[in-house]
Structure 1
């Protein structure tokens, strides 16, 4: 069973050591889930939402210095889990007739992006919106190159612009495959999608995502786009986040902000959104979700659709996404169960996923 996360994770793990475990807490949790979470070494929170109720378990501290325990309502950076929200926003624009998924991006991106891509051998006249959504445009992923981790850790206060991140893609490597040929995960494709959303809507990406996906209507009260938005009035303070013994809370959010990442969100809000998305409360038409989940013709489309991973378990599909800092969300259509988990230390990601997969979605 595939339990992967965006490629940058593996690069940074080599830089990390470990943190001591913290105190534990649990609420409304089945005893097996509560016990499994209680034993974890790193602060972790898991929230499960089913038709017949919910359950929650958490252990450790969101901020040890401030004495704040981690809970399922604690927001933190969800990194690439943001891609599902970006993709869903593009699909909302598609169902409104404002974007063609199969149109080349050449008419949708600013001239400076067009020039940059062409300078490295990419042809925006052949790359489509759908290929960006499905990671089949042939783009390299700047985040998977160790030089990027070295740069942002060496200068954590630097503010990165979207075009500067895409420029790293062109600096680090050439095109990886022909457009539409195969799945190759790339943050840069989602930076381009965020840019396209802003150009089409005339709004910031944060405002467009919030409006199109109905954050207020869905009750996502502990969710906002870092830097781009003011936190909701009643939002809890965010958790501190770690790469082993490196406190990366104050690394400038612009390293992962523009569509491939950027959202601060709690485990509860992630699960709420996933359940709403897959049960018809985000899109206006049922065919939009079918479009999101339809496999493409390219190699590797069995593992990633439009902004969402898919695994085949017990003869059925289960949909999920993960985030670099140690976040994970999943929906099982067979049981109508949504689950999300977060850890404040990336080193705890593997244990987090194991618990969600083993104890949460299947009955």
Structure 2
């Protein structure tokens, strides 16, 4: 990885950049200052270092929502590397029996759906979180503690399979809730503890990362940020609305960038072939844009990996440049501008696929 260092003092942001990457230094410096003033933090990480700022800074914990999926998928790949799970195994025998029965009653053949298909969003699982009824439902019961089974039941009651198993990409929070259930049953641990143990999170210098409800907030973390969708303060909703694998992690942008870099630099896995397997590309429709837990964009013939979170978070890794970028806003309304900023930082042009 190229060596970037951003640090904050009273006079402003100081920076040192490796000579071969110095061309992006002025652009990155301007963008970081602008977005910190707008209640948004961007961390451009090399060797685990990042920028810091004023309003919402890179050490402020936020709910990262679907950015969680990347690390849930990495946990499954870690279990695969240890030969504790077969990615091409049917999910039926791996699931909690009550959840398996729910899916069968809803028209899913769980003896044909595989773990790999869940990870690549090609299992055809209806997405309860994308249903127009979901946000209204959770807003009407902001303090309700939802269970995994509750959320799977919503998917089954509200919709039928999105497509035939293994034929097309259909993004599904529900599918990753099933992955969370499988992880718990294989490891015998709550999902948060299983992810922490399998990815050895405590070895990566993370100071503001935990799984809501399942783990205590670290003493090194500051107060979680307030996050909004327009005028709605979504951070007051019970964490169980997005907890069981589709989301659930709270992280600072510094930690998100650091862990993203660790993943794509092979530091979370024992063997290089594990990361290669995570970046497997299927033959189903839409497979060119998503691997196992991560989106892909092609830039000048090079793949760049990314994911985002519903409340306004992003993480990118550009292998050709050795750059990891993570960003967060405190209002979902700023999401498109945040993406533009992050993509400029890693060198993605507007015309990238």
Give the CA deviation at 1:54: 4.6
Post-superposition, which runs of at least 4 consecutive aligned residues in structure 1 deviate over 2 A? 25-42, 57-60, 359-363
Distance 1:55 1:361 in 2: 18
TM-score by length of 2: 0.89
What does residue 230 of structure 1 align with? 216
Q: 1:279 aligns with which of 258, 262, 265?
A: 265
Paired with 1:35 and 1:285, the residues of 2 have a C-alpha distance of 39
2 CA distance for matches of 1:28 and 1:135?
42
- CA RMSD after TM alignment: 1.8
- Over 3 Å counting, the alpha-carbon distance change for 1:97 and 1:26 in structure 2 is farther
Query: Of 165, 168, 175, which aligns to 1:179?
Result: 165
* 1:246 aligned residue (228, 232, 237): 232
Tell me whether 1:73 sits opposite 2:33 in the alignment.
no
Match of 2:43 among 41, 44, 47: 47
In structure 2, what is the Cα distance between the partners aligned to 1:309 and 1:87? 12
Matched position secondary structure for 1:114: helix
Contact 1:33 1:57 in 2 (8 A): no
* Matched-pair contact (CA < 8 Å) for 2:50–2:58: no
The answer to whether the Cα contact below 8 Å between 2:145 and 2:238 also exists between their aligned partners in 1 is yes
Aligned equivalents of 1:156 and 1:184: distance in 2? 28
Looking at structure 2, the residues matched to 26 and 341 of structure 1 have their Cα atoms a distance apart, in angstroms, of 19
Give 5+ residue unaligned stretches, structure 1: 1-24, 61-69
Report the Cα offset of residue 237 of structure 1: 1.4
Structure 2 CA distance for aligned equivalents of residues 251 and 50 of structure 1: 34
CA distances 1:25-72 after superposition (whole Å, capped 9, x unpaired)? 963465433433444574100011136x85525453xxxxxxxxx210
Contact 1:127 1:179 in 2 (8 A): yes
Distance apart, 1:329 and its partner CA:
0.2
Given the superposition, is the C-alpha separation of residues 196 and 54 from structure 1 closer, same or farther in structure 2, using an over 3 Å criterion? same
Write the mapping of 1:121-140 to structure 2, written as runs, cut at 5 A: 121-140=107-126
Equivalent pair of 2:72/2:195 in contact (CA under 8 Å): yes
CA contact (8 A) 2:295 2:306 kept: yes
Once the two structures are superposed, residues 153-182 of structure 1 have per-residue CA deviations (whole angstroms, 9 ceiling, x without a partner) of 121111110011111111111011111111
Q: Is the 8 A contact 1:221 1:234 kept in 2?
A: yes
Which residue of the partner structure matches residue 35 of structure 1?
A: 30
**Structure 1 pair 93–26 and aligned structure 2 pair: CA distance change class (3 A):** farther
Which of these residues, 197, 208, 214, is aligned with residue 200 of structure 2? 214
Q: When the two structures are superposed, what TM-score results if normalisation uses the length of structure 1?
A: 0.87
Q: Write out aligned runs for 1:1-363 (5 A).
A: 27-28=13-14, 30-40=25-35, 42-50=38-46, 54-56=49-51, 58=53, 60=55, 70-361=56-347
Unaligned runs of 5+ in 2: 1-10, 16-24
* Distance in 2 of aligned mates of 1:361 and 1:200: 40
Post-superposition Cα deviations, 1:272-319, rounded to whole Å, max 9, x if no partner, equal: 111111111100000000000010121111100000000111111000
Number of aligned residue pairs: 329
Q: 1:64: which partner in 2?
A: none
CA contact (8 A) 2:44 2:326 kept: yes
Does the residue aligned with 1:330 lie in a helix, a strand or coil?
A: strand
Deviations 1:180-221 (A, max 9, x none): 111100000100000000001000100000011111111111
